[in-house]
A and B are shown apart, each in its own frame.
Chain A
Amino acid sequence: MDEFTLPSTEWDAVIVGTGVKLSLLACALSRAKLSVLQLDPSPHYGSNETALSLSELEEHIASLSSPTAQFKLHSTPVHRDRDYTFTLAPHLIYWNSPLLEFLRDVKMTTSFTWLPLGSWWVWLSDEAVKERGTAKSGGLEGAMANLAAGAVKAGGTVRKKAAWNKNRSKNSAPPVTGALEALAAGKPADEQPASTWGEPSTSTSAATLRRHGDLREVPCTVEDIAWSQDLEGQDRANLGRFLRFIQQSASPEPTSGESNSSASLLAQNADTPLTTFINANFPLPPATIASIHSLTLLPTPPSSTPLHLAVSRLKTHLFSLGSIAEIRSAAALTLSYGGSAELCQVWSRGAAVAGGINILSCDVTPEPLPASSSDADDRIPLKLSTHPSTPITAKHLIMELEPSSWSEESYHAIYLLSTQLPPLFQKKLSTDAVSPAAVVVTMPPDQDAKTGLGNSTPIYLQIRSSATGECARGECVIYAVTAEEKERALLKRAVEMVVEAVDPTTQTGKGSEKIVMSCEYASGDLKRVGVMKGAERRQGELEKVVSEEVREKRVVKVRPLKRDIVFDEGTVEECRAVYERIVGTREGFCEPPPEFVGHGEEDE
Chain B
Amino acid sequence: MSHPRSSTSQRFAQFKLVLLGESAVGKSSLVLRFVKDQFDDYRESTIGAAFLTQTIALDESTTVKFEIWDTAGQERYKSLAPMYYRNANCAVVVYDITQAASLDKAKAWVKELQRQANENIVIALAGNKLDLATAQPSKRAVETAEAEAYAREAGLLFFETSAKTAENVQQLFTAIARKLPLDQQGPRGLRQGAGGRGVDLKGGAAAQQQGCNC
Contacts and interface: CB of A to CB of B under 8 A. Distances in A.
A219 to B, nearest CB: 23
A434 interface: yes
Q: Is the interface of B mostly helix, strand, loop or mixed?
A: loop
A1 B78 contact: yes
Interface string A353-396: 11101111100000000000000000000000000000000000
Interface string A464-487: 011111111100000000000000
A467 B192 contact: yes
A189 B201 CA distance: 34
Contacts of A324: 199, 211
Contact of A597 (B48, B69, B117): B48
Contacts of B14: 113
A345 B80 CA distance: 10
B73 interface: yes
A471 B48 contact: no
A16 to B, nearest CB: 14
A328 B211 contact: yes
A425 interface: yes
Interface stretch (A101-109, A157-165, A311-319): A101-109
Interface in B1-44: 1-2, 14, 32, 35-36, 38
B194 A434 contact: no
Interface string B183-214: 00011100111111111111100011011101
A44 interface: yes
Contact of B86 (A53, A350, A603): A53
A77 B72 CA distance: 35
A110 B195 contact: no
A352 B201 contact: no
Interface stretch (B50-58, B138-146, B149-157): B50-58
A173 to B, nearest CB: 13
Interface in B48-96: 48-55, 65, 67, 69-74, 76-79, 81-84, 86-87
Interface string A444-470: 000000000000000000000111111
A199 to B, nearest CB: 13
A80 B187 CA distance: 13
Contact of B194 (A80, A83, A85, A473): A473
Contact of A604 (B1, B69, B186, B210): B1
Contacts of B198: 113-116, 336, 434, 437
A466 B36 contact: no
Interface in B100-157: 116-119
B191 A83 contact: no
A106 to B, nearest CB: 10
B46 A109 contact: no
A367 to B, nearest CB: 21
A523 B65 CA distance: 39
Interface in A468-516: 468-473
Nearest to A323: B203
A345 to B, nearest CB: 5
B84 A83 contact: no
B195 A434 contact: yes
Contacts of A103: 201
Nearest to A360: B79
A325 interface: yes
A550 interface: no
A110 B202 contact: yes
A304 to B, nearest CB: 35
B193 A596 contact: no
A434 B194 CA distance: 10
Contact of B201 (A80, A109, A348, A361): A109
A603 B119 contact: no
Contacts of B79: 348, 352, 357-360
A44 B83 contact: yes
Contacts of B76: 4
Nearest to B48: A596
Contacts of A359: 77-79
A476 B67 CA distance: 26
Given A83-B187, A597-B48, A466 B78 contact: no
B186 A597 contact: no
A435 interface: yes
A326 B53 contact: no
A350 B71 CA distance: 10
A593 B48 CA distance: 8
Contact of B118 (A82, A341, A602): A82
A516 B200 CA distance: 33
A113 B199 CA distance: 8
A80 B198 CA distance: 25
A111 B195 contact: no
B201 A425 contact: no
A325 B208 contact: yes
A337 interface: yes
Contacts of A599: 50-52
A32 interface: no
B45 to A, nearest CB: 8
A465 B195 contact: yes
Given A170-B212, A602-B53, A100 B201 contact: yes
Contacts of B47: 353-355
A473 B186 CA distance: 6
Which residue, A324, A353, A355, A425, has most C-beta atoms of chain B within 10 A? A353
Nearest to A328: B211
A67 interface: no
26 contacts: A45-B83, A82-B117, A83-B187, A103-B201, A110-B201, A324-B211, A325-B207, A326-B214, A336-B192, A337-B83, A341-B83, A345-B83, A353-B70, A434-B199, A465-B194, A465-B195, A466-B187, A466-B193, A467-B187, A468-B193, A469-B87, A597-B49, A598-B36, A598-B53, A600-B52, A604-B2
Given A353-B50, A468-B193, 5 more contacts: A46-B83, A83-B119, A327-B211, A353-B49, A598-B36
The 4 closest A-B pairs by CB, nearest first: A325-B211, A467-B193, A435-B195, A353-B50
Interface of B: 1-2, 14, 32, 35-36, 38, 46-55, 65, 67, 69-74, 76-79, 81-84, 86-87, 116-119, 186-188, 191-203, 207-208, 210-212, 214
